[in-house]
Copies of this chain bind each other. A is one copy, B any other.
Amino acid sequence: MRWDELSRENCSLARSLAVVGDRWTLLVLREAFLRTRRFDEFEAKLGIARRVLSERLALLVDEGILKKVPYQDSPPRCEYRLTDKGLDLYPVIISLVHWGDKHYAGRRGPPMLHTHKTCGHDFTSVLTCSECGEA
């Protein structure tokens, strides 16, 4: 099966992976969540090949996960920002991060803590049922 056939499978996981399931896309999105916005910021922070970065950003814009927003007129320049669809990927990224924290953290604990702005605590994520609220 090829990558582009995957997106036509009748399976939400396959369709999601057809978009974000490659080597780099989720790392690009992690940077976007950390407020990285410009081409060379992404390049510098990720160490990704420029060609691959260019391709991924274009794909993410195509899919409506990022949008290009002009930030100056001359020369005309754009930055990349998350759309609502992109923001919806937060649970995916946070679950992967917490899985990594749990199973690959070294002696010094997880590399980054996540603080819940509303309650002020560092948190891990708990997946709950939308109907009854249980874990």
Contacts and interface: CB of A to CB of B under 8 A. Distances in A.
Interface residues of A, number: 59
A111 B17 contact: no
A17 B122 CA distance: 23
A89 B97 CA distance: 11
A13 to B, nearest CB: 5
A127 B127 CA distance: 5
Contact of A126 (B16, B23, B121, B127): B127
A99 B104 contact: no
Interface of A: 1, 3, 10-17, 20-23, 26-27, 30, 46-48, 85, 88-105, 110-112, 116, 118-119, 121-134
